[in-house]
Protein backbone atom coordinates (compact mmCIF):
# COMPACT_ATOMS: atom_id res chain seq x y z
CA UNK A 1 0.00 0.00 0.00
CA UNK A 2 1.45 3.30 -1.08
CA UNK A 3 0.65 5.41 1.98
CA UNK A 4 3.76 6.44 3.87
CA UNK A 5 4.03 8.66 6.91
CA UNK A 6 5.95 11.88 6.40
CA UNK A 7 7.98 11.99 9.60
CA UNK A 8 9.87 15.12 10.56
CA UNK A 9 12.94 13.23 11.75
CA UNK A 10 14.35 10.19 10.02
CA UNK A 11 12.78 7.03 11.36
CA UNK A 12 13.15 3.42 10.29
CA UNK A 13 11.26 2.57 7.07
CA UNK A 14 9.47 -0.26 8.89
CA UNK A 15 7.82 2.36 11.08
CA UNK A 16 7.32 4.95 8.36
CA UNK A 17 5.78 2.55 5.85
CA UNK A 18 3.52 0.58 8.19
CA UNK A 19 -0.19 1.25 7.76
CA UNK A 20 -3.41 -0.39 8.85
CA UNK A 21 -4.65 -1.67 5.47
CA UNK A 22 -8.32 -1.56 4.67
CA UNK A 23 -8.05 -3.76 1.61
CA UNK A 24 -6.53 -7.23 1.74
CA UNK A 25 -5.85 -9.55 -1.19
CA UNK A 26 -7.03 -13.16 -0.97
CA UNK A 27 -3.40 -14.42 -0.96
CA UNK A 28 -2.96 -16.73 2.03
CA UNK A 29 -0.25 -16.20 4.62
CA UNK A 30 2.18 -19.14 4.67
CA UNK A 31 2.55 -21.13 7.87
CA UNK A 32 6.25 -20.15 8.30
CA UNK A 33 5.31 -16.46 7.94
CA UNK A 34 2.44 -16.80 10.39
CA UNK A 35 4.62 -18.61 12.92
CA UNK A 36 7.28 -15.90 12.56
CA UNK A 37 4.73 -13.24 13.56
CA UNK A 38 4.04 -15.01 16.83
CA UNK A 39 7.74 -15.73 17.32
CA UNK A 40 8.30 -11.96 17.08
CA UNK A 41 5.56 -11.40 19.65
CA UNK A 42 7.14 -14.04 21.86
CA UNK A 43 10.40 -12.12 22.08
CA UNK A 44 8.78 -8.94 23.25
CA UNK A 45 9.76 -7.25 26.49
CA UNK A 46 7.32 -7.45 29.39
CA UNK A 47 7.34 -6.38 33.02
CA UNK A 48 9.19 -9.02 35.08
CA UNK A 49 9.20 -11.18 31.92
CA UNK A 50 5.58 -12.06 32.76
CA UNK A 51 4.66 -12.52 29.07
CA UNK A 52 0.95 -11.92 29.71
CA UNK A 53 -0.15 -12.16 26.08
CA UNK A 54 -2.15 -14.92 24.45
CA UNK A 55 -3.58 -15.07 20.96
CA UNK A 56 -6.46 -17.00 19.40
CA UNK A 57 -5.84 -17.54 15.69
CA UNK A 58 -8.03 -18.49 12.72
CA UNK A 59 -6.87 -18.65 9.12
CA UNK A 60 -9.29 -18.28 6.22
CA UNK A 61 -8.72 -21.99 5.44
CA UNK A 62 -10.22 -22.83 8.84
CA UNK A 63 -13.63 -21.82 7.54
CA UNK A 64 -15.67 -22.48 10.66
CA UNK A 65 -13.21 -20.80 13.05
CA UNK A 66 -12.77 -17.85 10.68
CA UNK A 67 -16.55 -17.29 10.42
CA UNK A 68 -16.81 -17.59 14.19
CA UNK A 69 -14.22 -14.84 14.63
CA UNK A 70 -15.91 -12.65 12.01
CA UNK A 71 -19.12 -12.85 14.04
CA UNK A 72 -17.44 -10.90 16.89
CA UNK A 73 -16.36 -7.98 14.70
CA UNK A 74 -18.36 -4.75 14.66
CA UNK A 75 -20.13 -4.34 11.30
CA UNK A 76 -18.21 -1.11 10.72
CA UNK A 77 -14.96 -3.12 10.50
CA UNK A 78 -16.34 -6.02 8.46
CA UNK A 79 -15.91 -4.59 4.92
CA UNK A 80 -12.11 -4.94 5.27
CA UNK A 81 -11.81 -7.45 8.12
CA UNK A 82 -13.70 -10.10 6.16
CA UNK A 83 -10.97 -9.84 3.47
CA UNK A 84 -8.15 -10.73 5.87
CA UNK A 85 -6.26 -14.00 5.52
CA UNK A 86 -5.87 -14.45 9.27
CA UNK A 87 -7.91 -13.17 12.20
CA UNK A 88 -6.37 -13.03 15.66
CA UNK A 89 -7.78 -12.17 19.08
CA UNK A 90 -5.28 -10.59 21.49
CA UNK A 91 -5.70 -11.31 25.20
CA UNK A 92 -3.73 -10.28 28.29
CA UNK A 93 -3.48 -12.02 31.65
CA UNK A 94 -4.39 -9.29 34.14
CA UNK A 95 -2.73 -10.89 37.18
CA UNK A 96 0.89 -11.76 38.00
CA UNK A 97 1.56 -15.44 37.36
CA UNK A 98 3.01 -16.41 40.75
CA UNK A 99 1.23 -14.10 43.19
CA UNK A 100 -2.10 -13.41 41.50
CA UNK A 101 -1.65 -9.70 42.24
CA UNK A 102 -2.90 -7.14 39.76
CA UNK A 103 -0.61 -6.77 36.74
CA UNK A 104 -0.44 -3.02 36.16
CA UNK A 105 1.02 -3.14 32.66
CA UNK A 106 -0.63 -6.27 31.28
CA UNK A 107 -2.45 -4.52 28.43
CA UNK A 108 0.61 -2.38 27.71
CA UNK A 109 2.75 -5.53 27.47
CA UNK A 110 0.26 -7.22 25.13
CA UNK A 111 0.54 -4.05 23.04
CA UNK A 112 4.32 -4.40 22.95
CA UNK A 113 4.04 -8.01 21.77
CA UNK A 114 1.47 -7.04 19.16
CA UNK A 115 3.76 -4.22 18.00
CA UNK A 116 6.55 -6.79 17.52
CA UNK A 117 4.09 -8.91 15.54
CA UNK A 118 3.07 -5.91 13.42
CA UNK A 119 6.66 -4.97 12.55
CA UNK A 120 7.60 -8.57 11.72
CA UNK A 121 4.52 -8.61 9.48
CA UNK A 122 5.57 -5.33 7.83
CA UNK A 123 9.06 -6.70 7.20
CA UNK A 124 7.49 -9.70 5.47
CA UNK A 125 5.25 -7.56 3.25
CA UNK A 126 2.14 -8.25 5.30
CA UNK A 127 -0.33 -5.75 6.70
CA UNK A 128 -2.08 -5.79 10.08
CA UNK A 129 -5.21 -3.82 10.92
CA UNK A 130 -5.98 -3.95 14.63
CA UNK A 131 -9.48 -3.62 16.04
CA UNK A 132 -11.02 -2.33 19.24
CA UNK A 133 -14.57 -2.48 17.91
CA UNK A 134 -15.26 -6.12 18.79
CA UNK A 135 -17.78 -7.95 20.99
CA UNK A 136 -15.56 -8.85 23.96
CA UNK A 137 -18.31 -10.47 26.05
CA UNK A 138 -19.24 -12.84 23.24
CA UNK A 139 -15.58 -13.69 22.60
CA UNK A 140 -15.10 -14.48 26.29
CA UNK A 141 -18.17 -16.71 26.38
CA UNK A 142 -17.47 -18.45 23.07
CA UNK A 143 -13.82 -19.29 23.83
CA UNK A 144 -14.34 -19.79 27.59
CA UNK A 145 -11.75 -17.15 28.48
CA UNK A 146 -11.33 -16.86 32.28
CA UNK A 147 -12.06 -13.57 34.06
CA UNK A 148 -8.40 -12.91 34.94
CA UNK A 149 -7.62 -12.73 31.22
CA UNK A 150 -8.68 -9.58 29.39
CA UNK A 151 -10.01 -9.74 25.85
CA UNK A 152 -8.31 -6.69 24.42
CA UNK A 153 -8.09 -6.52 20.63
CA UNK A 154 -8.41 -8.27 17.31
CA UNK A 155 -5.93 -8.21 14.44
CA UNK A 156 -6.76 -8.69 10.77
CA UNK A 157 -3.67 -9.90 8.91
CA UNK A 158 -3.04 -10.28 5.20
CA UNK A 159 -1.39 -8.86 2.11
CA UNK A 160 -2.52 -5.29 1.57
CA UNK A 161 -3.91 -4.56 -1.84
CA UNK A 162 -4.20 -1.16 -3.52
CA UNK A 163 -7.66 -1.93 -4.84
CA UNK A 164 -9.59 -4.44 -6.88
CA UNK A 165 -12.95 -4.50 -8.60
CA UNK A 166 -14.41 -6.28 -5.57
CA UNK A 167 -13.10 -3.64 -3.18
CA UNK A 168 -13.61 -0.49 -5.21
CA UNK A 169 -15.73 1.14 -2.50
CA UNK A 170 -13.13 0.54 0.20
CA UNK A 171 -10.44 2.34 -1.78
CA UNK A 172 -12.08 5.65 -0.94
CA UNK A 173 -12.45 5.03 2.79
CA UNK A 174 -8.85 6.01 3.60
CA UNK A 175 -7.31 9.42 3.12
CA UNK A 176 -3.93 9.26 1.32
CA UNK A 177 -2.63 11.82 3.84
CA UNK A 178 -1.73 10.23 7.15
CA UNK A 179 -1.57 12.58 10.11
CA UNK A 180 -0.25 12.59 13.65
CA UNK A 181 -0.27 15.06 16.53
CA UNK A 182 2.94 17.11 16.77
CA UNK A 183 5.68 16.02 19.21
CA UNK A 184 5.13 19.08 21.43
CA UNK A 185 1.57 17.91 22.12
CA UNK A 186 2.76 14.73 23.85
CA UNK A 187 6.42 15.10 24.85
CA UNK A 188 6.94 17.22 27.98
CA UNK A 189 9.66 17.95 30.47
CA UNK A 190 8.84 20.26 33.37
CA UNK A 191 5.09 19.86 33.75
Ligand X SMILES: Cc1cc2nc3c(=O)[nH]c(=O)nc-3n(C[C@H](O)[C@H](O)[C@H](O)COP(=O)(O)O)c2cc1C
Interface mask (CB under 6 A) for ligand X, residues 134-163, using x and -? -------------------x----------
**Residue from 59, 85, 122, 130 that binds ligand X (CB under 6 A)?**
130
Answer for the pair 27, 158: CB distance below 8 angstroms, yes or no: yes
**Residue from 133, 148, 163, 171 that binds ligand X (CB under 6 A)?**
133
CA distance 26 to 41: 24
Q: Contact region for ligand X (CB under 6 A) — 53-61, 128-136, 137-145, 158-166?
A: 128-136
Instruction: Kindly list the strands in the beta sheet with 149-158, ordered across the sheet, starting from the edge strand earlier in the chain.
Output: 53-59, 86-93, 149-158, 127-131
Residues between 46 and 75 that touch ligand X (CB under 6 A): none
Reduced DSSP (H G I as helix, E B as strand, rest coil) percent helix, strand, coil of the chain, to 5? 35, 20, 45
Q: Contact region for ligand X (CB under 6 A) — 24-32, 37-45, 50-58, 125-133?
A: 125-133
Angle (deg, nearest 10), helices 106-123 and 31-42: 140
Site residues (CB under 6 A) for ligand X?
19-20, 77, 130-133, 153, 178
Amino acid sequence: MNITARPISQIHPLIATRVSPNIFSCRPVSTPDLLALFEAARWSASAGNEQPWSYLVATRAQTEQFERMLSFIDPVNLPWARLASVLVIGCARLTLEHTGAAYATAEHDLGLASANLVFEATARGLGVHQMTRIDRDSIRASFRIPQHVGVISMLAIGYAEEHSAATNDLRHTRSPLRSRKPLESFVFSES
